[in-house]
Amino acid sequence: MQFSKGLLLSFLIAFMVCAQPAEEPLVAQSRATLERVRGLVASGLLPKAEVQKAEDALADAQDAVVLRNDIYQQDLTEAQADELVAAAGRQFDRRKKAFDDAKGLVESGLAPELSLSTYLQNLDFARKQCDLAETRARLAREMTAQAEAEAALAPRLPSDAPASIQNSERFDGSGVFNEAIFRKTETAFEAHFGKPLPVSAVGETAVHRALGFDHRGRVDVALHPDQPEGVWLRQYLTENRIPFFAFRHAVPGKATGAHIHLGPGSTRLAAGD
């Protein structure tokens, strides 16, 4: 069966369109509004300033999607965290400009002062979004630093090297670590300190996968090995022959990187994992 070049081209275009992910409804609506406004402006039915408003609305919708999808997500790569911070910053800038414009109208006597209430609430919310995004980004950077510390040091650590002569410590124990052992460790820590074990990563995470690390069946705990809680945890793990790596490694300007990795060392992901 033979196809004409035109029919084949139409088929390929249709396939590519169908293969593309569906655009978020809010973004699609804003994009359609922008195109409609551009048409009305071109026809002289709307002033040119309306195009900028519609473009801002589209940008706001795109950033809102990023914030909605990522700001409460526990598993972020550093790149995702950076984009989250950028989206929150752009949204804040737009809210600040809208507030300043509204304030100018009030000061000129063209609008009542009461009209600033909504703009002020939106600005305050955007500021809180920025703070939360920065917090999420900091945690993502710390997790990246921890994973990089594991990647750089774990393979080179002899299991019997004295902790005093190394930046990190390795204990192979029985070589066994599973969920039951982890839950028992959590319970013992909370019973001793009266607070939850500060777990920073359980199993596979986006950060470890991005670095090509198989972290399945492992747990990272955000404790410096030499702080009281870290000392207790290392002693508990040693006494119960639970394998761990204790990292004192720091990444200047990014994060401490110090943490305790529960379980055997992470391995490299095989192709296709």
Domain assignment present for residue 71? The answer is: yes
CB 217 within 8 Å of CB 177: yes
Asked if 170 and 145 sit in the same domain, the reply is: no
Asked if 214 and 252 sit in the same domain, the reply is: yes
User: What ranges make up the beta strands (E) of 121-203?
Assistant: 168-171, 199-202
Asked if 28 and 124 sit in the same domain, the reply is: yes
Query: Which of the listed residues 149, 184, 201 is the one where a domain comes to its end?
Result: 149
Element (H, E) at 210: helix 206-210
Residue 231: how many other CB atoms lie within 10 Å: 14
Antiparallel, parallel or unpaired: β 267-268 and 213-214:
antiparallel
Asked if 144 and 173 sit in the same domain, the reply is: no
Asked if 129 and 181 sit in the same domain, the reply is: no
Asked if 141 and 84 sit in the same domain, the reply is: yes
Structural domain for 41, as ranges = 11-149
Asked if 188 and 126 sit in the same domain, the reply is: no
Asked if 108 and 210 sit in the same domain, the reply is: no
First to last CA, the chain: 39
Domain assignment present for residue 3? The answer is: no
Asked if 188 and 138 sit in the same domain, the reply is: no
Asked if 50 and 143 sit in the same domain, the reply is: yes
pLDDT for res 206: 61
Please state the pTM of the whole predicted model.
0.53
d(CA 213, CA 125): 37
pLDDT for res 252: 46
pLDDT for res 90: 92
Nearest to 204 by CA among 213, 196, 195: 213
Asked if 230 and 190 sit in the same domain, the reply is: yes
* Domain count of the fold of the chain: 2
What pLDDT tens digit does each residue of the chain (273 aa) get? 444 545 444 544 444 444 445 678 888 888 898 888 888 888 888 888 888 888 888 888 888 888 887 776 666 777 888 888 999 999 999 999 999 999 998 899 888 888 889 999 999 999 998 998 888 887 777 777 666 666 665 555 555 544 433 567 888 888 888 989 999 999 999 999 999 998 877 766 666 666 666 677 788 888 888 899 999 999 999 999 999 988 886 544 444 568 888 987 665 554 444
d(CA 248, CA 148): 12
